[in-house]
Chains A and B, each alone.
Chain A
Amino acid sequence: MLERLPKHMKEKYKPISKIKIMTKTTNASGVGTAINRVEGHLKVMGKAKYASEFPVENKVYGQGINSTIAKGEIISIDTSKAEKLDGVLKIITYKNAEKLKDFDKEMTPIATDTIAPVLQSNKVHYYGEYVGLVVAETFEQAQYAASLVKFEYKKDPSAVIDFEKSKSKAYTPDNGTNYSRGNMEQGLSEADVVVEQTYNTPIEHHHPMELHAVIASWDNGKVTAYSSQQIVEDAKIAISSTFQIPKKDVRVISAFVGGGFGSKLNLDRHVIMGVMASKMVGRPVQVTVTRTQMFTNTNMRQQNEQKMRVGAKKDGTLTALSHETLSHTATNQEYQEPCGMVSKMLYKVPNNEVTYKLIPMNIQVPFAMRAPGEATGSFALESAMDEMAWKLKMDPLEFRIKNDTQTDLHENRPFSSRLLVECLRIGADKFGWKDRKSEPRTNKKGNWLIGYGVSAASRNSPYQKTYSKVILKLDEDKVFATIQMDATDIGTGSYTIIAQTASEYLKIPVEQVSVELGDSDFPITPGSGGSWGAASYCNGARAACENAIKTLKNNRNIKEEEDITVSELLKKNQLTKFEAEGMAEPSAEFEKYSVFSFGANFCEVWVDKDTGMYRIEKMVNVASAGKILNPKTAYGQIIGGLTMGVGMVMAEQTHVEPNFGNFITRSFADYHVPVNLDMANIDVIFLPEEDKVANKMGIKGIGELGITSVAASIANAIFNATGKRMRSLPITPEKLIVAGLEPGITA
């Protein structure tokens, strides 16, 4: 395998990655220290329980059956063969399913707490939609029986399955997201140079390692669901509203989650099928979504066609920027990815327009996938910026810096802090940007064409109301603390950073802190998603710890500023156990600012001149994301984001079969994610950033910053290497080999 690597790469064929931490730490295990994951040992021992691993007694298995047409009706169902099999307990279809709450209107927008009606009619809206569930004693029996249930369909030839051929069906969603400031056409007329290009991104799938799964029990109208979710509270709401039962009768447990990337933000229909099946067979039912069903039944990122128009003066001053996105949604539910978000706020441009159109298609409803909006939108914007810099004969780095803004022109308010220029400058220095050759195809080594690329990244840092509870126990001189909240750890490190927060504010070692998460009986949090988890969870935990100390001091008339250990406090209160709750939420100040994380990606790409294969030789990522709670877990987030970004560029795409409407990409054999050898030497640099507007702890989101604009930096490097402008993701050898050179560039 090493054969085809250039010599210099063979020599350093070892996984190296470096983190540079430029933040300071205080407490040995408190906020800011690079401690190991507190739940790490549980995970490597296999003791961390994921949804399908809970030892629920008397459990049986459900296997979903998927439609094999894109649109139409079920005309008959033959269950006779399947029913005769050993172990089969129930076959549920629309004919015998429990009646559920349905959508009140057409094209209901999908949200994190949206109901998930399933098996309610004989109508089929997309290929792969659930049309049945077989419940059996064993997984194998359920699976085999599911393959024997025969459905006969009446196909509706009006199915919309071809994006390219269906553009005339596009509509403007009624959600108020179209936006403009200034006058776009005037801005373009003032420009000396105009770039007008279209960028395409395909359907992508989240594919967390842990399959979506649920073990659901219906017990006298009370539901318990061990379900892999990012937001347990919203899952609870979705179950109670789908079944029209009181919220208090639903409990959702999501103790460990093996990745979500947005696919587990909402409650998917397999959970509802599991609950329904449990009600019908009177036993707990486990439903695990197969990897192939992960394509059709657990969300996706939709295809986007983004048309960019950029105008600039000769000196590089931006005069106009428009970002038009054409995407698709389901025929019965609506989702629109905010691709133009980044174009509204990243640069100082007076004339700006962002629009959206959606084609209703007979494909499952798309939903948020890591950095929805930014991941795809920044590919378009940061590619177009690079094209403009090339036309202006400007250094793309300087071009970006020239158009920096400290005011969010979209919201017309200042950024709470914005270190984008610092990210770009420091990154350029660490990367060696000065060695870049501005003319494509001039940096060569053997069969390789070498290119450098840069892109800017931004991702807003939402912060939401969060409750938590702390339980303190005194054991001799030591205080042991337990934090409880319904937060989730989707692999990001929530357990660890929450424990560090408690350690910081209670001033006890992290070893004396335990964290209990993912149970809807615990205090409510916004869950994990949208890069809001860390800030919300830690400030929530902080509030409970601060409340505990404050109450214990007040009870004994101890002054707030007095430095006294929590163990002494408990003793003075003559308590061995004490509980306190806390709540944190955005301040009034927060609303006056735009709060974002910023970053810059640099990469060096080597493109094989004959085969179209390329290697990402080196990447430098600089992030300015507020207080870095734990450099190790933060690093993991950035590396994970970069890797997903590399996947976006190199290979990830889901194809829709143009005649049948199914995803022809149906396993990891067809849906390629990066392998270790695809990854570069990566340097991650966290800039020190104090942002007390963001929240009391100064925490900003980092889970989505890493993936943002990676695609553009690599595409820009490929242009710098080859002179080929790759405007359609993924950039595969098959595309590169037939792509033409940009005008004015010679081979």
Chain B
Amino acid sequence: MRPFKYTGAQNKDQALQAFTATSHYLGGGTNLVDLMKEDVERPDQLIDINNLDYKKITSNDKGGLTLGAMLSNSETANHPEVRTNYPLLSMAMLSAATAQIRNMASNGGNLLQRTRCPYFFEVSMPCNKREPGSGCGALNGMNALHAIFGYSDSCIATNPSDMCVALAAIGATVEVQQTDGSSRMIVFTDLHRLPGDRPEKDTTLMQGELITAIHLPKPEFSDHYYYLKIRERSSYAFALVSVAAGLQVKSGVITKVGLAMGGVAHIPWKLTKAEGFLAGKKPTSENFKAAAALEMKDAKPFEANTYKVEMGKNAIVRALTQAYEREV
């Protein structure tokens, strides 16, 4: 591992002040430290933000909850209010990684975890995300696990987070602290960006910005929800395809839909078309199938990941069905 400077920040001002262009904030470190060991991330300085006071879950003025960025994934997913009012989020978070990793991983860090594309991890291979301009090894290489939506010639990697898929379905807002002391709000679906010709940038965060909180809207999917994660083993595997589905059903009619997919794009893939299609319709198998077909017809798979189209379709229908049929 390369030598680096470690700075322990006691408050946000110290953290922001210490920040330089080659610094990284250190949360749980479950992704960052791994990548440093692999020589993929090469910061000169780590600013430890674990002592920052962003570890609470509070009610917000929208009638929802605000999750502190430095709270662990475990504490968040197992928090009684999250479990009761945002079970979709809890379910998605608990499907991720292992108990040990969830105990370490922070909420802010989860939003910023980097792709698991093997070309990104192996420094002797080309990867535009790791080394801009070096090319995309996966484009004409091994891409069975790669994107089927929204990719570019520069990058076909996917976002690995489960939590983010649920947050995209629920419709969260992310609060960030800027280096000049001000703060701003980012609509969740604007946080991550498609690769375009700048795949090295995963998010729309500006240099030195620090995520402090995730604001959830008032709970809408606590009765009908499901997070379906399709993977090669029962735990500790990233999703081949995942679907977060939340429904609000009144008098036999869908009044609100939250739907997003993981494992298919550079960002948590919000299924806006399917959401629009289902709103106001009956929660029937035919409607679920039509909604799934509507989304998946835009998929542009590679030869090796064609399976994701069928799998994705099935997953959407299944997640919606499980969400709807869930006994309250």
Q: Are A1 and B121 in contact (CB under 8 A)?
A: no
Q: Are A737 and B3 in contact (CB under 8 A)?
A: no
Q: Are A612 and B230 in contact (CB under 8 A)?
A: yes
Q: How far is the CA of A666 from the CA of B123 in the complex (A)?
A: 12
Q: How far is the CA of A662 from the CA of B125 in the complex (A)?
A: 9
Q: Mark B110-144, 1 if CB is under 8 A from A, else 0.
A: 00000010110110110000000000010011101
Contacting residue for A658 out of B141, B227, B231, B310, CB 8 A: B141
Q: How far is the CA of A657 from the CA of B311 in the complex (A)?
A: 25
Q: Are A738 and B307 in contact (CB under 8 A)?
A: yes
- Indicate if B306 sits at the interface (CB-CB under 8 A): yes
Nearest CB on A from B281, distance (A): 21
Known contacts A664-B118, A666-B118; decide if A612 and B237 are in contact (CB<8 Å).
no
- The residues of B that contact A733 with a CB separation of less than 8 Å are 230-232, 240, 311
Q: Are B317 and A657 in contact (CB under 8 A)?
A: no
Chain A, range 1-34, C-beta contacts under 8 Å to B: 1, 3-4
Q: How far is the CA of A4 from the CA of B212 in the complex (A)?
A: 33
Q: Are B306 and A738 in contact (CB under 8 A)?
A: yes
Q: Which residue of chain A is the closest to B305 with respect to CB atoms? A: A734
Q: How far is the CA of A659 from the CA of B39 in the complex (A)?
A: 22
Interface size class, chain A: 35 or more
Binds B, one of A139-147, A690-698, A719-727: A139-147
Q: How far is the CA of A271 from the CA of B109 in the complex (A)?
A: 40
- The residues of A that contact B60 with a CB separation of less than 8 Å are none
Q: Which residue of chain B is the closest to A667 with respect to CB atoms? A: B121
- The residues of B that contact A1 with a CB separation of less than 8 Å are 94-95, 234-235
- Indicate if B233 sits at the interface (CB-CB under 8 A): yes
Q: How far is the CA of A678 from the CA of B116 in the complex (A)?
A: 22
- Indicate if A675 sits at the interface (CB-CB under 8 A): yes
Q: Mark B179-216, 1 if CB is under 8 A from A, else 0.
A: 00000000000000000000000000000000000000
Nearest CB on A from B328, distance (A): 15
- Indicate if A672 sits at the interface (CB-CB under 8 A): yes
Nearest CB on A from B225, distance (A): 10
- Indicate if B7 sits at the interface (CB-CB under 8 A): no
Q: Which residue of chain A is the closest to B37 with respect to CB atoms? A: A143
Q: Are B315 and A611 in contact (CB under 8 A)?
A: yes
Q: Mark B292-328, 1 if CB is under 8 A from A, else 0.
A: 0000000000000111101100110110000000000
Q: Mark B237-271, 1 if CB is under 8 A from A, else 0.
A: 11010000000000000000000000000000000
Known contacts A68-B124, A664-B142, A672-B237; decide if A612 and B116 are in contact (CB<8 Å).
no
Known contacts A611-B314, A657-B142, A733-B240; decide if A144 and B125 are in contact (CB<8 Å).
no
Q: Which residue of chain A is the closest to B318 with respect to CB atoms? A: A610
Nearest CB on B from A84, distance (A): 13
- The residues of B that contact A658 with a CB separation of less than 8 Å are 141-142
Q: Are A664 and B122 in contact (CB under 8 A)?
A: yes
Q: Which residue of chain A is the closest to B236 with respect to CB atoms? A: A675
Q: Are B317 and A3 in contact (CB under 8 A)?
A: no
Contacting residue for A655 out of B142, B305, B306, B317, CB 8 A: B142
- Indicate if B21 sits at the interface (CB-CB under 8 A): no
- Indicate if B2 sits at the interface (CB-CB under 8 A): yes
Total interface residues on B, CB under 8 Å, equals 43
- The residues of B that contact A738 with a CB separation of less than 8 Å are 306-307, 310
- Indicate if B228 sits at the interface (CB-CB under 8 A): yes
- The residues of B that contact A670 with a CB separation of less than 8 Å are 116, 118
- Indicate if A586 sits at the interface (CB-CB under 8 A): no
Q: How far is the CA of A672 from the CA of B145 in the complex (A)?
A: 14
Q: Are A657 and B318 in contact (CB under 8 A)?
A: no
Q: Are A734 and B125 in contact (CB under 8 A)?
A: no
- Indicate if B91 sits at the interface (CB-CB under 8 A): yes
Nearest CB on B from A262, distance (A): 23
Known contacts A3-B91, A658-B141; decide if A737 and B232 are in contact (CB<8 Å).
no
Q: Are A732 and B124 in contact (CB under 8 A)?
A: no
Q: How far is the CA of A182 from the CA of B5 in the complex (A)?
A: 74
Q: How far is the CA of A689 from the CA of B318 in the complex (A)?
A: 50
- Indicate if A651 sits at the interface (CB-CB under 8 A): yes
Q: Which residue of chain B is the closest to A659 with respect to CB atoms? A: B141
- Indicate if A674 sits at the interface (CB-CB under 8 A): yes
Contacting residue for A611 out of B3, B142, B228, CB 8 A: B228
Q: How far is the CA of A658 from the CA of B141 in the complex (A)?
A: 6
Known contacts A659-B141, A737-B311; decide if A611 and B230 are in contact (CB<8 Å).
yes
Contacting residue for B1 out of A140, A612, A657, CB 8 A: A140
- The residues of A that contact B315 with a CB separation of less than 8 Å are 610-611
Q: Which residue of chain A is the closest to B237 with respect to CB atoms? A: A672
Q: Are A672 and B232 in contact (CB under 8 A)?
A: yes
Chain A, range 625-670, C-beta contacts under 8 Å to B: 650-651, 655, 657-660, 662, 664-667, 669-670
Q: Are B142 and A675 in contact (CB under 8 A)?
A: no
Q: Are B235 and A677 in contact (CB under 8 A)?
A: yes
Q: Which residue of chain B is the closest to A68 with respect to CB atoms? A: B124
Q: Which residue of chain B is the closest to A143 with respect to CB atoms? A: B1
Q: Which residue of chain A is the closest to B3 with respect to CB atoms? A: A144
- Indicate if A613 sits at the interface (CB-CB under 8 A): yes
Known contacts A4-B228, A611-B315; decide if A734 and B307 are in contact (CB<8 Å).
yes
Q: How far is the CA of A657 from the CA of B124 in the complex (A)?
A: 12
Contacting residue for B234 out of A655, A660, A666, A675, CB 8 A: A675
- The residues of A that contact B232 with a CB separation of less than 8 Å are 650-651, 672, 730, 732-733
Of B141, B144, B229, B234, the most chain A CB neighbours within 10 A belong to: B234
Known contacts A612-B311, A672-B233, A732-B232; decide if A666 and B141 are in contact (CB<8 Å).
no
Q: How far is the CA of A1 from the CA of B310 in the complex (A)?
A: 24
Q: Which residue of chain B is the closest to A651 with respect to CB atoms? A: B232
Known contacts A659-B137, A666-B118, A666-B121; decide if A613 and B231 are in contact (CB<8 Å).
yes
Contacting residue for A650 out of B94, B118, B233, CB 8 A: B233
Nearest CB on B from A200, distance (A): 16
Q: Are B233 and A651 in contact (CB under 8 A)?
A: yes
- The residues of B that contact A615 with a CB separation of less than 8 Å are 234
Q: Mark A33-72, 1 if CB is under 8 A from B, else 0.
A: 0000000000000000000000000000000000010000
- The residues of A that contact B144 with a CB separation of less than 8 Å are 734
- The residues of B that contact A662 with a CB separation of less than 8 Å are 122, 124-125
Q: How far is the CA of A558 from the CA of B226 in the complex (A)?
A: 79
Contacting residue for A674 out of B125, B233, B307, CB 8 A: B233
Q: Are B2 and A144 in contact (CB under 8 A)?
A: yes
Q: Are B311 and A611 in contact (CB under 8 A)?
A: yes
- The residues of A that contact B230 with a CB separation of less than 8 Å are 611-613, 733
Contacting residue for B140 out of A610, A659, A666, A669, CB 8 A: A659
Q: How far is the CA of A62 from the CA of B194 in the complex (A)?
A: 42
A-B contacts, 14 of them at CB < 8 A, read A447-B318, A610-B314, A610-B317, A615-B234, A650-B233, A664-B142, A665-B118, A666-B118, A672-B232, A677-B233, A677-B235, A733-B231, A733-B311, A737-B307
Known: A612-B230, A737-B311. 11 other contacts (CB 8 A): A3-B91, A68-B124, A611-B315, A650-B232, A660-B124, A662-B125, A664-B118, A670-B118, A672-B233, A732-B232, A734-B305
Give the 6 A-B residue pairs with the shortest CB-CB distance, closest first: A677-B234, A68-B124, A610-B314, A734-B307, A651-B232, A664-B118
